[in-house]
Structure 1
Amino acid sequence: MRIGGHSYTVDYGHFALLTVIAGAVIWYLLDARGVSTSINNLLLVQPTAIFALVMYLLIIPQCFQRETAEPVVQKPEEYDPLAPKLPTERSDVIRMGLLGLSLGVMVFTFNTIGFDVAIFLFAAAAMAICGERRPVRLVLYPLAVTVVAIYGFRALIPFPMFTVIL
């Protein structure tokens, strides 16, 4: 594509995918607003839709790249942060598995030990798995996460959560 004195290449695949996602977001927002404009109906939908549309407007310009006189050749040994690389070290794979297992345990123990205790134990376990060893931080940070999560959920969602302490 040529605009003014510059040539641009357009990544039509990404452009089309992003536009379809933005269209779906707009459709969902209009549909939700068509049902009801009450705060309970739009509390999560409208801010999320606005955020998604702002992200669309920020990402779309990246689909248009100005062509340069000489092509940019990337050396194969250069680090590409966007290239997907799976962890190959055994310790990383074990850590990922333990994090997934602790998340599963948290989800299945919500109704047994309570939302507050399950969230606290998961946050502490995740920090320990990721390498945190200072006991004060292993108590204070999960406590803050638990309080914010429980009171935040209660403020947003009218769902009777079983809690032991909070």
Structure 2
Amino acid sequence: MLGIIMAISGFITWSALSASTKLNNLVVVAPVAAALLLLTVTIVVGALRKPMSAETETHSAVWGDLLLLSGFAAFCFALTYIGFDVATFLFVWAGVVMSGGKGLWQPPLFAAIFTLLLVKGFGSLFPYPMLTLVL
């Protein structure tokens, strides 16, 4: 799966670079490709250092991955209906809780701060307005 993701990311990055090397063309593609490469290396090194041994761990990891993937699909769908800010806040909050974030106020606070930084950061990078509900 990582190979497929990296191959598609590599093709998209190569296509964007061959079309134009201007910053407006690469403002999203280059950082995402770099982040994907870094995450892939981290996952592979972690898997090689501590391989999973029990079959139950594999099944629970698969269900967690499928749940996160379906949450990301819902996030992408929600972007055009409730806005980038609210969709990001809900997705990050759910992701923090799924990752073991505990407490009553810490997960929504982290999600709110992350969403604020992301919306303001992307808002300053993109030359067109993003659909937002609150910010």
Normalising to structure 2: TM-score of the pair?
0.62
Question: How far has the Cα of 1:100 moved from its partner?
Answer: 0.8
Structure 1: give runs of 5+ residues left out of the alignment: 1-20, 34-39, 52-79
| Cα pair distance change 1:118/1:81, threshold 3 Å | closer
Amino acid at match of 1:132: G
Question: How far has the Cα of 1:82 moved from its partner?
Answer: 5.7
Q: Distance in 1 between matches of 2:46 and 2:83?
A: 39
Question: Is 1:94 equivalent to 2:77 in the alignment?
Answer: no
Structure 2: give runs of 5+ residues left out of the alignment: 1-9, 35-44
- Structure of larger gyration radius: 1
- State, as a whole percentage, how many aligned pairs show the same letter: 29
Residue 27 (structure 2) aligned to one of 44, 57, 60: 44
Question: How far has the Cα of 1:115 moved from its partner?
Answer: 0.6
Residue 155 (structure 1) aligned to one of 115, 124, 127: 124
Corresponding residue for 1:73?
none
Report the RMSD for the aligned CA atoms in angstroms.
3.3
Any conservation in 2 of the 1:95–1:130 contact (CA below 8 Å)? no
Amino acid at match of 2:125: L
Number of aligned positions between the proteins: 105
Q: Distance in 2 between matches of 1:127 and 1:81?
A: 20
Give the 4+ runs in structure 1 shifted more than 4 A: 84-88
Corresponding residue for 2:82?
113
Question: How far has the Cα of 1:135 moved from its partner?
Answer: 1.7
Corresponding residue for 1:127?
96
Higher normalized helix content (fraction of residues):
2
Corresponding residue for 1:104?
73
Q: Deviations over 1:137-160 (max 9, x none)?
A: 111100011001100111001222
